[in-house]
Structure 1
Amino acid sequence: MTDHSLPQPGPLAAAWQHLWRKERPWVAFLVILLGVSVVDPGQFGPSVAKVANALVSIAPFLAVSILIAAWAGATGADNLIAKAFTGAPAMMIVMGALAGGLSPFCSCGVIPLIAALLAIGVPLAPVMAFWLASPLMDPSMFVLTAGVLGLEFAIAKTLIALGMGVLGGTVVHLIIRAGGLSDPLREGVGNGGCGGTKVRAPKPPVWAFWQDPARVSKFRTEGAKTFLFLLKWLSLAFLLESLMLAYLPAELVTQTLGGTGLAPIAIATVVGVPAYFNGYAALPLIATLMDQGMQAGAGMAFLIAGGVTSLPAAIAVWALVKLRVFALYIAISLGGAFAMGMLFHLWTQV
């Protein structure tokens, strides 16, 4: 029964609530620009110019990533994911990591599929492999990473995403063999919702999607959705990048995250968890920090730790599995991020 005695939000307040829920990056972008115009008017023009120039410079990579996402949605290529979870445990773990690292899923979009996999009885080890690798890399992310941080960094991050998946899946498999982690799902978790059908009854992809008007329409819809998603997050990222360049002393970055020891990588791993807000938006920020003196291993550790434990992904894990599984997920994420950051740092020094 509705309590009509409670005050209802007016049209303006309701519009603001809707805007904040749906378009937080744009709201943050406008609020930050407004703050800059009030506090430091001289920085307003350079920041806007930085955003515009950066978007133009990355436009070719942005276009390719949008086409990849639209193509995957129109053809139904995501249905191939179900084939990764059949076979021997070792093969399932490897295939789960490959599917997670190479499939066009974002950290939020993959959650219904993961819920379905767990609910229909797919072993936790390959699901964990998929879960850890999926937020770190996908075809669109690879293209943008190569454009912002270079091809070597993009290839290394792809290999690290696969390594993280295999590491996590192997650890979980060994624990299960020792008698732990039985019944991982929380009470009340259902069959995974809309993601369940992709696992139980996968449909073959339709590669010649242009022959089907409905799939052509989906191609346009997915392309527009991906474009708007990337535009708002990258605009916010480039704005923050301009402010970092203006106000963050390069000497401070060099002192904190430079050098060759373990401390910068450990700091970046820990800081990456609360500071990370979107995989795409983090790329230009890391590029700026690296230009100012952050070592490559620390940058990689930041991207890995933040990508796997980003707030949407972590909340989804918490909602689906029991506390001991969630704790293991966090431990593997942070430990793996530190180890992979260290390995990448050693590689860059060779």
Structure 2
Amino acid sequence: MTELALTLRARATDMAQSLWSKERVWLLTASIVAGLLIFAPAQGVETAQFALTSFAGVLPFLLLSIGIAAYAAASSADGLIARAFTGSPLVMIGIAAIVGGLSPFCSCGVIPLIAALLVMGVPLSAVMAFWLASPIMDPSMFVLTTGVLGLEFAIAKTVVAVALGSFGGLVVHMLMQAGHLTDPLRDGVGNGGCGGAAVRTPAPVVWAFWNDPARRSKFQREAVKSTLFLAKWLLFAFVLESLMLAWLPADVIAGVVGGTGIAPILIATLVGVPAYLNGYAALPLVGGLIEQGMAPGAGLAFLVAGGVSSLPAAIAVWALVKRQVFALYIALALVGSFSAGLMFQMWSVL
């Protein structure tokens, strides 16, 4: 083989490795769908339609949150937001948990805001509180939960959202005080941590940033970057969710988490993580199981654990933070969900 051929081969290999490292999520998603279309055409079409429809459903929330995050960066308002989180950590954790539990954003829609907060240098404790509380409850979920499971269940789920967020934030705060979790973001996501650039070198705020070409360009870059980042991870998550729904029927889940006592609460917590449907589809399933004798505590544990660790939410967390932070996120979801199920069960029998 000639020297030129070797050089071209080396360059081609480097380009392929670079493409895989940068676009492996897109490539993996496309490969899954292509494989399904070849070997299981009906499922392939169903998966593609499910992924696109699900993405379209969360797109309004995503665009709104991406716009807010990009505006904060372009106008330098991110510095004000970051400095607002430099007060008492305990107060910030409580506020973040309450806002997360009451915010109208879905678990996917808050991801750009959370990423922006972390990059700004907002403490992970407050961000974790918001992150844990947000997927569990929102206004529309409260109304639907009330209609399907009753007002008491909806209130309990809201209280659990705020309590779990506060609990997770306090745990992270104690770990940070001990010197852990000082650099939570994955390489290349940003330069956040305990002291982000927005706090170290605050820039003057220009609310009408569109009059400045440089700031206008920054807004466009931030918006495009966030959109592409979220699109690849969410489409991947929705493809996996489609396969889970197709190959893990609801009646199988019902057979596993049904029953009464403490054991079903533990099982529902563990099963809720990988087998969760979605916040709205799970409500009638749980309602039917409770009517058939399932412990209310097990139903709440299933909804909470599954909501926090649903595929779109969990994959988004995985994409943003390092593995130890992701593991902590899942652990907090499990412990908090099981505890919430136990307490709700004790309350229900009083």
Please state which band the TM-score falls in when normalised by the shorter chain: 0.5 to 0.7
Aligned equivalents of 1:161, 1:8: Cα separation in 2: 56
Q: 2-side partners of 1:100 and 1:248: how far apart? A: 30
The change in CA–CA distance for 1:76 and 1:110 in structure 2 (over 3 A counts) is: same
Q: Which amino acid aligns with 1:27?
A: L
Greater shift, 39-48 or 297-306, is seen at 297-306
Q: Is the partner of 2:85 in helix, strand or coil?
A: helix
1:26 aligned to 2:26?
yes
Percent identity among equivalent residues?
35
Against the structure 1 CA distance between its residues 20 and 56, is the aligned structure 2 distance closer, same or farther, given a 3 Å change threshold? same
Contact kept? 1:50, 1:238, Cα under 8 Å: yes
Match of 1:300 in 2: 304
Aligned-partner residue type, residue 129 of structure 1: S
How high is the TM-score relative to the length of structure 2?
0.62
For residues 52-71 of structure 1, the aligned pairs below 5 Å read 52-71=52-71
Question: Are the aligned partners of 2:66 and 2:113 in contact in 1 as well (CA < 8 Å)?
Answer: no
- Opposite residue 223 of structure 2, the aligned amino acid is G
Match for residue 86 of structure 2? 85
CA contact (8 A) 2:302 2:337 kept: no
Structure 2 contact 305–333 (Cα < 8 Å) conserved: no
Q: How does 1:1-350 map to 2 (within 5 A)?
A: 10-79=10-79, 80-87=81-88, 90-91=90-91, 93-94=93-94, 127=123, 129-136=125-132, 162-170=162-170, 182-184=178-180, 195-203=195-203, 205-257=205-257, 262-263=262-263, 265-267=265-267, 269-270=269-270, 275=274, 285=278, 287-288=280-281, 295=299, 297-304=301-308, 310-311=317-318, 315=322, 317=324, 332=332, 334-340=334-340
1:253 Cα deviation from its structure 2 partner? 1.5
**Gaps in structure 1 of 5+ consecutive residues:** 1-6, 118-126, 187-191, 277-281, 320-325
More moved, 151-160 vs 127-136: 151-160
SS of residue matched to 2:132: coil
User: Measured at CA, do residues 214 and 70 of structure 1 come closer, stay the same or move farther in structure 2, by a change above 3 Å?
Assistant: same
Give 2:322's aligned amino acid.
I
Deviations 1:159-210 (A, max 9, x none): 756533433455678x79xxx9655578xxxxx9565332344445433222
The one-letter amino acid paired with 1:315 is K
Q: Are the equivalent residues in 1 in contact too, given 2:74–2:219 (CA < 8 A)? A: yes
Give 1:121's aligned residue: none
Q: SS of the counterpart of 1:37?
A: helix
Q: Deviations over 1:11-65 (max 9, x none)?
A: 4443343333223332221121122123322322233233333344444334333
Distance 1:346 1:235, change over 3 A: farther
Q: Which amino acid aligns with 2:128?
A: L
d(CA) in 1 for partners of 2:28, 2:39? 16
Structure 2: runs of 5 or more not aligned = 1-6, 104-109, 146-153, 183-189, 290-298
Q: Which amino acid aligns with 1:86?
A: G
Give the TM-score, by structure 1 length. 0.62
Q: Deviation per CA, 1:248-284, whole angstroms, max 9, x where unpaired?
A: 22210112245676555534544677x59xxxxx9x7
